Structure 1
Amino acid sequence: MSYLKEVIGYSFAFGKDYTVSLGGFLLVIFALVATHFFLRLLRRIVCARLKQEDQYKFITLFTFLKYFIFTIVLIVSLDSIGIEVTVLLAGSTALFVGLGLGMQKLFQDITSGIFILLDRTVSVNDIIQVEGKVGKVTQVNLRTTRAITHDDKILIIPNHKFLSEILYNWTQNYEKTREFVEVGVAYGTDVDLVKEILIQVALDNRVVLRMPEPDVHFQDFGDSALQFRLYFYIADSFNILKIKSDIRFGIDKAFKEKNITIPFPQRDVHIHQK
């Protein structure tokens, strides 16, 4: 027993001004390990009572909180064994200033990540558009947000971009979105027939919602065509490229059956000989 006390009481130098016993060192390790298991248990208990959507937000915020708690536990543990952390921090002021300047973007991203989670700017499964790129959000972390594009590529977006740039969130208000397809027909075509065909093509597509109903707008008298725009609602905006393609195929087929011509611009070239 005396041998065990002697081992635990064994001290070793830590820098010039501090000595730490093996028992004190083990106390710090025990405090960190106990904190780890406590936080792990707390996370499981809370997540079990949350909806899946809220779990993602809680886990992200909990990660930030976990690091904060570990820092507090470490400071208190070191102070309890005689190491004054405040003195060490004061002596490293210049170092921390340099690190702060170098990690400014990182802090901006983390702060932005917290705001995103609190005000629900972006959530998992939202369809977003940033800098002309469209993606479906798969993960919201403290520093970055991940989204998958139509081409199955992963967008890794620094969170500060959501606060400093314009963000389009296609599905924040509702899951359904209003989309459109444009088409032109030759002058002299029955415009009422065109409207009827376009609406029917939209209704024939299983992805297009029945309510609100599809609608057709007569956009303009173009240089070589009457311009129409078919509006419709869908609940799967992430696959909008394929949906629009299918509708265009349907329009082309229906127009051919009704002998409706889709014109193309023509230019007359006159050659004058002198």
Structure 2
Amino acid sequence: MTRVIALFFLFLNISAVNANNSLIAIVNNKAISYKSIENKIIDSKSSEEKILIIKEHIDILLQLEKAKEFQVSALQKDVDLTLQDIANNNHITIDQLRSYPDFFLIEKEVYEKISILNLQRFITKDLVISPEEIFIQCSKKNSEKDLKQIKIAQIIISELDNKITNDKEKEVEIKSFLNKISNHISKGASFETFAKLHSQHPSYLNGGVTDWLTVNTQTMKILAELKENKVSKIYLTDFGYAIAIKIDERFISSKLGKCEEELIYVNAEEFYFNWVSSLRENAFIKIYEEKL
């Protein structure tokens, strides 16, 4: 009788182990056992909650699979650095952290989060929002236009005769040349043509025209006051001496920069969410709900 009872309890233990290791889902060619996500669903009270957790786990597996495919999985050194930060933030040594009973779960989670973050950056790295779209969207959100910007065309000269070594003589020569160009333009010559012929800045390709520049320096304030087709006085830039004309001006919200960051983030987040959804739609997924 004692032997029968012992065998009965042994059978119960084996059944419990088998239940813990039972197959609850398949993703492509990978099996998900109850044991592998037990720590995530152990406190779930309803089947709906458990299914939601399993679906989230499936999304993680699909992303990790892609991270490996694109070779952006977390490097061990990055995992180690993050673990060290966790230890520091909790005022313990890394050895004390490693002695924690569930350390392997912490290390696994760190690896997964870094890998997925790397994947997010990889997938969204080529996303671009045009300056016009940013301006339109952010202007709607921030109606107060308290920041002035101008667009100018410049002719920048850094050197004319490399035989001249004296800085003062070089400055005089450059300014004299710019004054001659300025006189021609003031008499009706094309600024764009002279910029393409003589400017030594990469912007010469499009006639010296800049992007929108914020009026936040004394030089910008002077240029902002220029009348139409009026050539500026000679001024110094990081690339050399220059003359300019004002092309256009506008007023924007000083919060535009922050709005731009938020818009780029939201756009990337939405793009990545849709990309993960497509992974899920194209994957073979089977969840054994009756085993939950």
Does TM-score exceed 0.5, indicating one fold? no
Query: TM-score, structure 2 length as denominator?
Result: 0.23
- Tell me: higher relative CO, structure 1 or 2? Use CA pairs within 8 A at least 6 residues apart: 2
By percentage of residues, which structure has more strand?
Answer: 1
By percentage of residues, which structure has more helix?
Answer: 2
